[in-house]
Amino acid sequence: MLNIHVFTFNPFQENTYLVYDEKGQCAIFDPGMSNPKEEQTFISFIEQHKLVPIALYNTHCHIDHVLGNRFVYEQFGLVPQLHEGEVPVLVSVDARAPMFGIRYDTSPIPETFLTEGQIIHVGEHALQILLVPGHSPAHLCFYCATQQFLIGGDVLFRNSIGRTDLPGSNHQQLLDGIREKIYSLSDETVVYPGHGPSTTVGFEKTSNPFIRG
Asked if 104 and 112 touch (Cβ cutoff 8 Å), the reply is: no
- pLDDT at residue 213 in the model: 84
pLDDT digits (tens, 9 = 90+) for 64-119: 999 999 999 999 999 999 999 999 999 999 999 998 899 899 999 999 999 999 99
Asked if 93 and 107 touch (Cβ cutoff 8 Å), the reply is: yes
pLDDT digits (tens, 9 = 90+) for 38-61: 999 999 999 999 999 999 999 999
Asked if 84 and 55 touch (Cβ cutoff 8 Å), the reply is: no
CA torsion through residues 77, 80, 84, 88, sign: negative
Q: What is the mean pLDDT of residues 24-32?
A: 98
- pLDDT at residue 87 in the model: 98
What the chain holds in terms of domains, given with CATH numbers, is 3-207 (3.60.15.10)
What is the residue-averaged pLDDT of the chain?
Answer: 97
Q: What is the pTM of this model?
A: 0.98
